[in-house]
Chain A
Amino acid sequence: MPIEIKLPAMSPTMEEGTLAKWLVAEGDEVNPGDLLAEIETDKATMELEADEGGTVAKLLVEAGSENIAVGTLIAVIAREDEDAGDVDIPADGGDPPASSETQQSSATPDVEAEQPKAGEEPASLSVEPEVPEGTEMVRMTVREALRDAMAEEMRADGKVFVIGEEVAEYQGAYKVTQGLLDEFGDKRVIDTPITEYGFAGVATGAAMGGLKPVCEFMTFNFAMQAIDHIVNSAGKTLYMSGGQMRCPIVFRGPNGAAARVGAQHSQNYGPWYASVPGLIVVSPYDAASAKGLLRAAIQSPDPVVFLENELLYGQSFDVPKLDDWVLPIGKAKVVREGADVTLVSYSIGVGVALDAAKELESDGIDAEVIDLRTLRPLDRETVLASLKKTNRLVAVEEGWPTCSISSEIQAICMEDGFDYLDAPVLRVTNVDVPLPYAENLEKAALLKLDEVVTAAKKVCYKN
């Protein structure tokens, strides 16, 4: 079989080309790498090289020919042991191949979206654990709950370790990792240099290598330097490997506005990460959720972005004293039942929504409050079930309004809850500006209780 030279596609978009010039003649000997021709493509003039050596038997298109389709046979080269004067020229050689059936059809696939199939390991309970009557409740801060969750998982699984800036000797910039170094030693509680991109990459690689890292960012503002590894390395590898490469890692740390630290230190990244398929995003409000969900996140075989809030660290809540206090990822919680209007929020916004509900009560409005807890996958069912009951909904978010979790909630209500709606879904968020420093301006920019109350009254047509 002689070597057939067909007009190659030289770029992803090339469909035809011009044979500007032959650089060999019939009868010439060619070696691998020798130039055969100059080809003009839609983008540039490129040179066509011989892969293999031999003798040029036939040139099938003339120099200067234009609009030659990719795949057209343009020359034949006789191999070393063949006679250049007597090679077979394939009869159909001049025809370009029928439009390649290998190209994906551009139409959207008409298959039903399937639920992702369960992995071999159950990720976590998908039901809320029962809290049996008489269970002891322990009052603890969100900070302590998070620390206990890490410690319990580290005791249970030797592959779990904590890595980040100031997590070990300093006991955590916000003291969330307090005591872990003492109990687990410096093999498992690791202080890093101030190199977010680097240590997020190292932690992600360690997860790919079979470990279960808990990677703390001092705050998520600094994780912007590491977002490439969170999204591109941790979030996409399972898919790109056809399900082979797992990346069981938790990226955690405080997120959202703290107090008076200005624009670069105050931002809510919930919507950013929640837009990425391949990541799980959790953002708890109270201590019980913080503990149960962080344990679930560490146990999960998938990469989890776990968004805490500095202003909540010191707040105390009741946590059931149960060994298996692990909460389901992907399940929202109705934290206050009501009949007239639904307030949907997460993280620190849940506190604002609960306060608003109290105030609305005195105005005779019975508000239901939902804590989303997980931002991806978002629990649409719980939101829609509540909407079906109250027919009115306000999304409440400590974050910017544009392309937010609130706008996602509004979209869900439009798409799947339209028939239940008695009023437009409203959102109450931060003001759409970088967070200012001055006390009065900061206050004016952040999520406000009275705006939530006003919005709730508005959708109830009770202004």
Chain B
Amino acid sequence: MAAKKAANAKDTGGKGEESPSRVRITEARDGIDQVPMPSRHEPSQEELTELYRRMLMIRRFEEKAGQLYGMGLIGGFCHLYIGQEAVVTGVQAAMTDADSVIGGYRVHGHMLACGISPKDVMSELTGRAAGISKGKGGSMHMFSTEHKFYGGHGIVGAPVPLGAGLAFSHKYQEDGGVAVIYFGDGAANQGQVYEAFNMAELWKLPALFIIENNQYAMGTSVNRASAEDQLYRRGESFRIEGMQVNGMDVLDVQGAAETALDWVRGGNGPVLVEYMTYRYRGHSMSDPAKYRSRDEVQDVRTKRDPIEAAKAELMKMGTDEDSLKAIEKEIREQVNEAADFAEQTPEPDLKELYTDVLVGSYG
């Protein structure tokens, strides 16, 4: 089983010669329009620099969150996004301001990608009044209606119908937006996902369903949980077109997201994109990670790291070491500032315990 999984990861997520296909789409079927084959986004040097900067921001932010957790400043569960940065960064680059985002409990990176400030997120992680949820949500429950980020949901699978509901509201209000809905390979086995797929296609909702296939749901590899392990095909019985895309290359990610979003915006209904990615850290902070080998992790980390790849590509485009170092320095400063702030800013006032239960007052 494990061997099959590893081979599978290589096929679809690998780079260079060893990857026969960086992208697959659902096979042509009678009576169903096929989603076009996407291509890799071709960025300017400036664009790629920005993508690099955003990925690096997520990485450094998450590393810092891990450290603060280790110091006891962050409590409960804390799910880090390290390794998966290219997915949200590439998708976000293809979106417009009208679009909305919803995801699960591994979403610190998604929030930063939506433009939410690192301070607001970090101080929520430390449970402070200045946190984006006033310290009442925590790592798994953060929202920003201002940035059209609709959570931040701790129940596996829940964002899928909720996201279809956001798509419903985009369509109802004719605001031109698409709901971008992130969930994991484990979440892809939830029944509610398929109820939502059915309605989304039936009503041609503007929804982009994204499976971040990082190969594991906690300690369970995809093959141990999924009868159909090619998750991009999971929409086929609902006539939802699928793509499987290398999620370790931010430009592959962006290219596919552009094609998918064009298709959705064209009124063709939802698309399902499976990004093949990998998380380097444990499921949450307290994961001894006995379900996979160190070699497997180090192999991905050294050969397929999305940030290192973008860096190498930038250098080929002529960016020098010094400017990369300057970016690194600037990001470290921002992250340190956010962490210092999150550590020092006060906890919520005790009277906040009773606020925000209901909007109105009754009786």
Q: Measuring CB to CB, which residues of chain A are less than 8 angstroms from any residue of chain B?
A: 6-12, 14, 32-33, 35, 41, 43-47, 51-52, 70-71, 97, 100, 102-104, 109, 111, 113-119, 121-124, 126, 161, 187, 192-193, 195, 197-211, 228-229, 232-233, 236-246, 277-278, 280, 300-302, 328-331, 374, 377, 379, 381
Q: A6-B70, A202-B165 are in contact. Are A124 and B280 (CB under 8 A)?
A: no
A243 touches B162 (CB 8 A): no
A187 adjacent to B172 (CB under 8 Å):
yes
Those 7 A-B pairs whose CB atoms lie nearest each other, nearest first = A205-B165, A123-B360, A198-B195, A201-B161, A8-B70, A330-B363, A209-B169
What's the nearest-Cβ distance from chain A to residue B67, in Å?
7
A117:B169 contact, CB within 8 angstroms: no
Interface residues of B (CB under 8 A from A): 63, 66-67, 69-73, 75-77, 100, 102, 126-127, 131-137, 141-145, 150-155, 158, 160-170, 172-173, 179, 191-192, 194-196, 198-199, 202, 280, 285-286, 288-289, 294, 297-298, 301, 343, 347, 350-351, 353-363
- Do B168 and A206 touch (CB < 8 A)? yes
Is the pair A228, B144 in contact by a Cβ cutoff of 8 Å? no
Q: In the assembled complex, which residues on chain B have CB atoms less than 8 Å from the CB atom of A41? A: 286
Contact residues in B for A238 (Cβ distance below 8 Å): 356-359
Give B135's nearest chain A residue, CB to CB: A242
> Would you call B354 and A116 a contact (CB within 8 A)?
yes
**Interface contact A233-B286, CB-CB below 8 Å:** no
Q: Nearest Cβ distance between residue A229 and chain B, in whole angstroms?
A: 7
A188 to chain B, nearest CB (A): 9
A97 lies within 8 A of B71 (CB)? yes
CA–CA, A71 to B355, complex, Å?
34
Q: In the complex, are the beta carbons of A202 and B150 less than 8 A apart? A: no
Question: Is A115 a contact of B356 with CB atoms below 8 Å?
Answer: no
A193 to B200, CA, bound (A): 11
Do residues A11 and B285 form an inter-chain contact, with CB atoms below 8 A? yes
- Complex: A116 Cα to B351 Cα, angstroms: 10
Known contacts A102-B73, A209-B100; is-contact A122 B164 (Cβ 8 Å):
no
- In the complex, which of the residues B75, B76, B126, B294 contacts A35, with contact meaning CB atoms closer than 8 Å? B294
A residues less than 8 Å from B347 (CB atoms): 102, 104
B286's nearest neighbour on chain A, judged by CB, is A11
Q: Whole-angstrom distance between the alpha carbons of A451 and B173 in the complex?
A: 54
Q: Please, which residues of chain A bring their CB within 8 A of the CB of B131?
A: 242
Asked whether A239 and B136 contact (CB < 8 A) given A114-B354, A206-B172, the answer is yes
Cβ of A200: which chain B residues have Cβ within 8 Å of it?
161
Bound: A328/B356 CA distance, A: 20
A327 CB to nearest chain B CB (Å): 11
B164 touching A239 by the CB < 8 A rule?
no
Contact of A116 among B66, B172, B355 (CB under 8 A): B355
Chain A positions within 8 Å of B294 at CB level:
35, 47
Interchain CA distance A242-B353 in the complex, whole Å: 10
A278 to B355, CA, bound (A): 11
Contact at B161–A246, with CB atoms within 8 Å? no
Contact B355 A241 (CB under 8 A): no
User: Could you say which residues of chain A place their CB within 8 Å of the CB of B362?
Assistant: 123-124, 126, 280, 328-330, 374, 377
> In the assembly, what is the distance between CA of A291 and CA of B188, in Å?
41
A33 to B162, alpha carbons, bound, how many Å? Answer: 36
Query: Within the assembled complex, what's the spacing in Å between the Cα atoms of A277 and B350?
Result: 18
A47 vs B132: C-alpha distance in the bound complex, in angstroms? 32
A124 to B359, CA, bound (A): 11
A-B contact pairs, 14 of them (CB 8 A): A46-B288, A51-B67, A97-B71, A103-B75, A116-B354, A197-B191, A198-B161, A201-B160, A202-B162, A204-B161, A210-B173, A244-B144, A280-B358, A377-B363
Q: A205's contact among B155, B166, B202, by CB below 8 Å, is which?
A: B166
**A209 close to B155 (CB less than 8 A):** no
Residues of B within 8 A of A204 (CB): 161-162, 165
Find the A residue at minimum CB distance from B145: A244
Cβ contact within 8 Å between A205 and B168: yes
Residues of A within 8 A of B158 (CB): 201, 228-229, 232-233
Complexed CA–CA distance, A370 and B101 (Å): 47
Closest chain A residue, CB of each to CB of B192: A197
Shortest Cβ distance from residue A236 to the other chain B in the assembled complex, whole angstroms: 8
User: Are A240 and B63 CB-contacts (below 8 A) given A201-B158, A329-B362, A329-B363?
Assistant: no
Would A237 and B151 be within 8 Å (CB), given that A11-B286, A198-B196 are in contact? yes
Nearest B residue to A39, CB-CB: B288
* CB-defined contacts of B151 to chain A, threshold 8 Å: 237, 240-241, 245
Give the distance in Å from the alpha carbon of A123 to the alpha carbon of B362 in the complex: 7
Residues of A within 8 A of B194 (CB): 198
Report the Cα distance A123→B361, complex, angstroms.
7
A98: min CB distance to chain B, Å: 11
Interface centre among A45, A118, A233, by most chain B C-beta atoms within 10 angstroms, is A233
Q: Report yes or no: B169 in contact with A210, Cβ–Cβ below 8 A.
A: yes
Are A245 and B195 closer than 8 Å at their CB atoms?
no
User: Which residues of chain A are within 8 angstroms of B170 by Cβ–Cβ distance?
Assistant: 209
**Which residues from B are CB-within-8-Å of A374?**
362-363
CB distance from A26 to the nearest CB of B (A): 22
In the complex, the answer to whether A202 meets B168 with C-beta atoms within 8 Å is yes
A374 to B288: give the CA distance in the assembly, Å. Answer: 49
CB atoms of A103 and B357 under 8 A apart = no
> Which residues from A are CB-within-8-Å of B133?
240-242, 244
**CB contact under 8 A between A47 and B72, given known A102-B126, A111-B351, A377-B362:** no
